[in-house]
Each structure stands twice: as C-alpha cells, then as structure tokens.
Structure 1
C-alpha cells in the first residue's frame, strides 16, 4: 500500500493509527509486542520512529507493506489549502470562546446576589 506523506515525517505510531491498523495511540505498545514490524528491512520496536518519504514498513504476519511516497504538486497544494482553512477556523473558534462568558462551575463561584428559589407555603 502507498501512503502519501505531506509533512517532513510521521511517527510509526501516528502512521499505524492513521491507516487504521491500531485504534488508538495507547495500543501501539501491545501491537509492537505482538507483531514484528520492519522499518526498511530492519526490525523496529520504537513507536516514535520517524518515517519519511522513501521509507517502507512491513508487518509480515498481517501481510501489510507500506511505502511512503511524495504527493503530487496538486495534492500538496490541496493539502496546504485545507490546513490553512482548519487553522483559520480554529482561530475563529478560539476568538469566539474568549468573548463568551462562562457560567460558574461550582457553588463557591456563584454570585452572592442570587437567592435560592422560593417555594409556595414557606
């Protein structure tokens, strides 16, 4: 299988998670204990191993072979536009969250001007 790498590198853990081979970052330790993983033909057991374009990952017992490739110029430009848009939206959300007044979370933060509700008959 081919994996197009848009950044300088990706860690082995992030790669396996992104491809759906593992379901969470925490699962990598047990995965590496249960499966032989080869990086460019050599046994690899470091979850943070940086994988770059041209590298290959093999997991023989699962019959998985991953080659990291360079995306086309068009794919790279599309990726950059999506990344910029995500950053723009994140910045907007952060600014909006600053303007929203948060409600007190516990009784010690409640304003003393508020009174308890009154029930009829009391």
Structure 2
C-alpha cells in the first residue's frame, strides 16, 4: 500500500490512525505493545516516530506494508484546495457561532430585565 504524504512528515501514531488501523490516538500504546511494527525493516516502538518519503512501515500480523510516497503535482494542488476550503468553512462556522452567542446573551439580558418568577415552593419541604 502506498501512502501519499502532503506534509514534511507524519508520525507513526497519526499514520495508523488515518489508515484506520487503530481507532484513536490512545490505542497506539496497546497496539505497539501487542504487535510488531517494522520501520524500514527494524522494530519500532515509538508512537511519535517521524515518517518521511521513502520510509516503509510493515505490520506482519496484518500482512500490511505501507510505503510513504510523494504525491503528484496535481494531487498536491487538489489537497491545497481542499485544505483551503476546510479553513474557509471553519471560519464561517466560527463566525456564526460567535454571532449566535452574542444574540443569546442579548436575549438573556432582555429576559432578566423582566420580572422573574420565583420557584414554586411546596409547603413542609
């Protein structure tokens, strides 16, 4: 299997999580304790090991070999567009949440100016 790396490096933990070999970042310690993971032919136990172009990760128990490769120029452009779009959407959602929070605060202050109801009290309690 080939993994196209769009950044300078990826950690072993992030790679295994992105490929759905592990379900969460916390599962890596148990995975490395119970499975042999080979980095360029040598056993690797560090979850933060930086993987770069040309590195080969082998997991014999899964019969899996992952080679880190350089993406093509068109794939890099596509990836940059996707990242930019995610950032644009994130900014819009953040602004909307901020505006909604302001509206809620204004609404709450208007209600607090009105007469407040006292909680119902039951006799003998």
Deviations 1:82-105 (A, max 9, x none): 00010111111112222113647x
User: 1:51 maps to which residue?
Assistant: 51
Deviations 1:45-90 (A, max 9, x none): 0111111111110111221100010111101100000000101111
Mapped to 1, the partners of 2:112 and 2:27 lie a distance apart of 46
1:52-91 mapped onto 2 (5 Å cutoff): 52-91=52-91
Q: Secondary structure at the match of 2:20?
A: coil
Uncovered stretches (5+) of structure 2, i.e. residues with no partner: 106-110, 121-125
Mapped to 2, the partners of 1:47 and 1:79 lie a distance apart of 25
CA RMSD of aligned residues (A): 2.2
Uncovered stretches (5+) of structure 1, i.e. residues with no partner: 105-109
Structure showing the higher helix proportion among its residues: 2
